[in-house]
């Protein structure tokens, strides 16, 4: 069976009356999960208002980035969109709620656009990247061009950056990402 390229990674928490301990990343553990990335950059974002939407972003080859995303304060809905040309699941997406409470992480490989919406005020998100930021390879697609079922109240207009208000629609995007033989599957 071919592994899903996007992976939801639930934590193992060891707790007692004082609280809990978890190991967020261990290379050997992640290799057993089929995640062989070497991470070289950590990012941390803070979003003050609820329904701040960041995405859908990626870096193009040769500076593509695998990402390992987690929410350390608040709750977000995190998504990955398949943008690999010739993929049978091109344009399809998966999403999961990540929160400080559940500790879940989402692994998003190269060839997927990534974005999230905050579900409450004062959210902090951290993520590891397999390459450093490269402005010449920075790219994205419009958050509302994929058909994502963003969990926002009817009529809500998300808070967007200037950059995210001017992204190409998926239908106008010419993907530089090759398909690797692993179709996107629902998260388990």
Residues labelled as active-site residues:
57, 127
| Residue tagged 């992204």 (tokens) | 167
Q: Is 32 helix (H, G, I), strand (E, B) or coil?
A: helix
Q: Is the dihedral of CA 93, 91, 152, 157 positive or negative?
A: positive
For residues 185 and 171, what is the distance between their CA atoms, to the nearest angstrom?
21
Q: Are 128 and 39 in contact, with CB atoms under 8 Å apart?
A: yes
């Amino acid at each position: 069976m071919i592994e899903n390229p996007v992976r939801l990674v639930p934590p193992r928490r060891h707790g007692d009356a004082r609280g809990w301990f978890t190991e967020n990343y261990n290379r050997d553990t992640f290799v057993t999960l089929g995640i062989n990335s070497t991470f070289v950059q950590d990012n941390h974002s803070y979003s003050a208002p609820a329904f701040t939407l960041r995405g859908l972003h990626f870096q193009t080859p040769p500076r593509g980035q695998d990402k390992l995303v987690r929410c350390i304060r608040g709750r977000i809905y995190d998504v990955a969109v398949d943008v690999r040309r010739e993929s049978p699941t091109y344009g399809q997406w998966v999403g999961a709620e990540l929160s400080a409470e559940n500790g879940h992480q989402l692994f998003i490989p190269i060839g997927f656009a990534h974005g999230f919406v905050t579900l409450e005020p004062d959210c902090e998100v951290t993520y590891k990247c397999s390459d450093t930021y490269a402005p010449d390879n920075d790219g994205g697609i419009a958050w509302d061009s994929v058909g994502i079922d963003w969990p926002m109240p009817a009529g809500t207009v998300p808070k967007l950056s200037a950059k995210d208000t001017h992204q190409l629609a998926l239908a106008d995007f010419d993907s530089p990402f090759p398909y690797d033989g692993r179709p996107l599957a629902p998260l388990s």
